[in-house]
Amino acid sequence: MKLKDKKWLQEIRFNEEGLIPAIAQDHQSGRVLMLAWMNRNSLQTTIDTKKLTYWSRSRQKIWVKGEESGNEQNLVSMQLDCDGDVLLIKVKQKGNIACHTGRNSCFYRELGENGWETAEPVIKNPEEIYTNG
């Protein structure tokens, strides 16, 4: 997607830290895979490369989804909510694993009678995914 100008960036309401929440959703199933944060640079990089690029609040740096695990996300489409402060991004998820726990989605726990219960199995052990520690 080639954008003619950067006016689209001006319509986004970043929070006081310069971030916007980005919900990644599987483009075929509609399943919510994860929520991460983006800043202007990671958002522009995502548009330019078509690879989802986020801002890590804990590491204070930009990271490309899948740079360590190989489970990258490719941009299919992007939507901005009515308030201009949340992105919904439809992605093609490589490897069927979006969560660092080795599951398809970060939303794998459900509230049951006994509290939070794991409702989805691990697809691949994280120790096998992240070899760099």
Confidence at residue 123, expressed as pLDDT on a 0 to 100 scale? 95
Neighbouring C-beta atoms of residue 27, cutoff 10 Å = 17
> The CATH number of the domain where 87 resides is what?
3.10.20.810
**Domain annotation covers residue 23:** yes
Report whether pLDDT(133) > 60: no
Confidence at residue 1, expressed as pLDDT on a 0 to 100 scale? 57
pTM over 0.85: yes
Residue pLDDT, tens place only, 7-29 = 888 999 999 999 999 999 999 99
Residue pLDDT, tens place only, 88-105 = 999 999 999 999 999 999
**Domain annotation covers residue 1:** no
**Domain annotation covers residue 24:** yes
Report whether pLDDT(130) > 90: no
Confidence at residue 77, expressed as pLDDT on a 0 to 100 scale? 98
CA distances for 41 relative to 48, 53, 75, 94, angstroms = 10, 9, 16, 23
Which residue matches tokens 């970060």? 106
**Domain annotation covers residue 6:** no
**Domain annotation covers residue 5:** no
What percentage of the chain exceeds 70 in pLDDT? 95
**Domain annotation covers residue 3:** no
Domain that holds residue 54: 12-129
**Domain annotation covers residue 121:** yes
Q: How many domains does the chain have?
A: 1
Report whether pLDDT(53) > 90: yes
Confidence at residue 4, expressed as pLDDT on a 0 to 100 scale? 66
Q: Which of 80-84, 106-110, 126-130 bottoms out in mean pLDDT, i.e. has the lowest?
A: 126-130
Q: How far apart are CA 21 and CA 60, in angstroms?
A: 15
